[in-house]
Amino acid sequence: MELAVRAAAAVSCSSGASLQLPRAQAPLRLRLPGRRFPARRTAIAAAIAVEPESKVQQSNNSEGEVFACPVCYEPLIRKGPSGINLPAIYRSGFKCSKCNKSFTSKDIFLDLTVTSGTKEYSELKPARTELFRSPLVSFLYERGWRQNFNRSGFPGLDEEFQMAQDYFQSVAGGILLDVSCGSGLFTRKFAKSGSYSGVIALDFSENMLRQCYEFIQQDDTLVNTNLALVRADISRLPFASCSIDAIHAGAAIHCWPSPSNAVAEISRVLRPGGVFVATTFLSSPRNNPFSVEALRPLRQFVGPVNTSYNYFTEAELEDLCKSCGLVNYSSNVQRSFIMFSGQKP
């Protein structure tokens, strides 16, 4: 394990900087996510046990259900307690009335991917996506990895959160979706703010969601809040059209296999007036030695010119938002950091 930690310390993060772990006074012992399922289930069971039975409502119809089938986008029929919270979802089963596909929260998250429930089929995403499915990277994300982003101009978690909250003022009280939530560093802040009727943490990485739950477990005030963990593909969001009020994507779009498909999906699920806020790294000589303008003429001869991550100029990000139907684009730039926002008309 010591060798694994040393190797991880040399891994370059999205900003192009090497991860610097603090010097430990004692040997570092990793408790990787996903190793204590009984404890997780015990915590959820305890939360359920104190819930009065009279408050447990069986929801056997699709009316008011926020989750939808990722195959046909029909609202799911839930059998179990209603609500967007961990105990209710853990006790519920979900089924699509149109294609009859079933979904359960057999782990501590609800798996709403198209491949949920498959036994033989499997597929790999691009390397930049698969990297964040690693238990080690999931463990390290809030323990040194994310902190390195300040080298590229990211102002820090507290300031980034407040900036996002300012953009979301017009949709306060609605449902917020934190896509590519990672270990939930912003999910927890949104949930504890009390600004939203429900917060949904969504990621494709099973291990990131497990790590997210580990952190939630450490804060008793979050266990019974309207907070749900969902595994889903950013390019196939399991929500009905015009059903979400606010969508946040922190330091994520550069990792997405197809940013255009993802932003189109985000636009689809936002309600009219809904707000999308994201941060990422702007294209610069530091993270992309060849400028976008220099590479563009080569594409007609050699096809797509791919790098490890998708880095964009601000003009490209604005163009992408507008092409996906979002309006009122605005941004805040600091060195290679950008926070940008668009609104569903």
Q: What is the DSSP letter of 274?
A: E
- Please say if the pLDDT value at position 167 is more than 90: yes
Q: What is the mean pLDDT of residues 122-138?
A: 85
Residue 288 reports pLDDT greater than 80: no
Angular region, 134: left φ>0, alpha ψ -120 to 50, beta rest = beta
CA separation for the pair 231, 112 (Å, rounded) = 6
33-42, 157-166, 209-218, 267-276: least confident range: 33-42
Q: Go through the domains of the chain in sequence order and give each one's CATH number.
A: 119-344 (3.40.50.150)
Q: How many CA atoms lie within 13 Å of 316's alpha carbon, on the beta-carbon side?
A: 17
C-alpha–C-alpha distance, residues 76 and 96, integer Å: 5
For 100-119, the pLDDT digits (tens) are 999 988 778 999 999 999 99
Task: Say if strands 270-281 and 93-96 run parallel, antiparallel, or are unpaired.
Answer: unpaired
Using an 8 Å Cβ cutoff, are 238 and 67 in contact?
yes
Task: Return the pLDDT at 287.
Answer: 57
Of 260, 258, 255, 238, whose CA–CA distance to 326 is shortest?
Answer: 260
